[in-house]
Amino acid sequence: MRVRFAPSPTGVLHIGGARTALYNWLLAHRHGGAFVLRIEDTDRERSTPENVEQILDALRWLELDWDEGPLSQAERAPAHTAAIEQLLSAGHAYEDEGAVRLRVPDDGETVIQDLIRGEIATPNQAIQDFVVRRSDGSALYNLAVAVDDRDMGITHVVRGEDHISNTPRQVMILRALGEEPPVYAHLPLLHGPDGKKLSKRHGAASVQELRASGYLPEAVRNYIALLGWGYDESTTFFTTDELIDRFDLSRVSKNPAVFDEQKLRWMNGRYLRGLPVEELKSRLERLTGRELPTEAVEISQDKMQTLADFWPLAGFLVERRDFDDRAWSKVMRDGAAERLRAAREALEQADAFDVETVEQALRGVVERFDAKPKDVFQPVRVAIAGTTVSPGIFESVAALGRQETLARIDSALLKASGG
């Protein structure tokens, strides 16, 4: 089996393209075949080196390695020209005002046995003689794709259903060249949860955006594999090796698949919580560009769904923050300053400063004031974190340390007194 992923380098790699790449990659690995990367870069204005690199960068991040390529379609212009000459000399094509058109049979139909959709029959009368070479001598898309698939020995073409209308033309070209076409499989479209075609309004629309949002490549691979495919009715989590072993085009649906970023967040959180702390720390440091305390990472792990959640949640353990006005006005009222002062004294006098001792000290203040726990814990949280969001309060105080905790509470008490 030889499959190919053939993106046009017009910008970032979108999620639909990433799924196409993944399915081809899984097929090649399952069947011991080759995964060919071909860049369809005949649009020279948009096919910049920067855009090509964005495609390669996204595939590398997803850990989808290719066996051959990246091959440039534009550099194959001589092969396209030779094929057009072959069509002309055999009478399968003719010149028309400087362009070249393929002769389409007047009757009959072009039939494709699609591995996902079954038989797709297109009446030949529905397709007019179509241009395969422009008057400037350049080959059109359908000719270039057909010739490239032939020359690269592609056995299976797995791509989005938006290409279905191209397929009969490419089959006609290949047959006119005396070649049998590859096997085709057209993947369902991706929709958002609202049932409309996937776009930026549904959240992250590209691989680069997913990476910047703190998703893990292994979670993204798992999730996008399920966009149109399923092994059974219940299994959701697959290792990459399990995906290779189980992926089969016969289980790909014809119906549009729904990309739901909330479900991806949930799945990513499961993957994230399964990482060893040191591995999670390493990934967080790559994303933030900061060296992070191991303890801060450890106490945040259970509350994060993406790597990007760390900084809003626990960044205060790395650097001091200003007090959030809304959080301050909500929490620092009705005697909160008095309870915070008592919490400070209890923490200062605590024998040790581990999680257990910190909890004992703060719960003692709750009992002394006969208060609800949040009426003591939230002022402490706002004092040390600047906001009402943090990992567990006892773990956060212990991780921050006695000296810095007391210094931040002092700043909060000064602010509460009008200083």
On whether the CB atoms of residues 76 and 6 are closer than 8 A, the answer is: no
116-167: per-residue pLDDT in tens? 999 999 999 999 999 999 999 999 999 999 999 999 999 999 999 999 999 9
* Residue at a domain's end among 187, 216, 243: 187
310-343: per-residue pLDDT in tens? 999 999 999 999 999 999 999 999 999 999 999 9
Q: Is residue 248 part of a domain?
A: no
83-98: per-residue pLDDT in tens? 999 999 999 999 999 9
Is residue 251 over pLDDT 80? yes
23 and 153: one domain? yes
Which residues does the annotation mark as catalytic?
A: 200
State the SS3 of 201-235: HHCCCEHHHHHHCCCCHHHHHHHHHCCCECCCCCC
Would you state the pLDDT for residue 203? Answer: 63
118 and 180: one domain? yes
286 and 330: one domain? no
124 and 39: one domain? yes
Terminal CA-CA length for the chain? 74
306 and 329: one domain? no
148 and 179: one domain? yes
Reported as a pLDDT band with limits 50, 70 and 90, residue 219 is very high
Rounded to whole angstroms, what are the CA distances from 330 to 79, 317, 323? 71, 22, 12
Reported as a pLDDT band with limits 50, 70 and 90, residue 48 is confident
| Alpha-carbon gap, residue 247 to 144, rounded angstroms | 30
Q: Is residue 224 part of a domain?
A: no
280-317: per-residue pLDDT in tens? 999 999 999 999 999 999 999 999 999 999 999 999 99
Is residue 198 over pLDDT 90? no
* Residue at a domain's end among 285, 301, 317: 317
Q: Is residue 209 part of a domain?
A: no
299 and 351: one domain? no
Name every residue whose Cβ is closer than 8 Å to that of residue 410 and which is 6 or more positions away in sequence: 344
370-402: per-residue pLDDT in tens? 999 999 999 999 999 999 999 999 999 999 999
| Structural domain count, the chain | 3
Q: What is the CATH number of the domain that holds 368?
A: 1.10.10.350
| Alpha-carbon gap, residue 302 to 101, rounded angstroms | 62
282 and 377: one domain? no
Would you state the pLDDT for residue 241? Answer: 96
Range of the domain at 150: 2-187
Q: What is the CATH number of the domain that holds 28?
A: 3.40.50.620
**Which helix (H) or strand (E) element contains residue 36?**
strand 34-39
| Alpha-carbon gap, residue 174 to 148, rounded angstroms | 10
Q: Is residue 44 part of a domain?
A: yes
* Residue at a domain's end among 144, 165, 187: 187
φ and ψ at residue 333, rounded to 5 degrees: -155, 170
37 and 124: one domain? yes
Whole-prediction pTM: 0.92
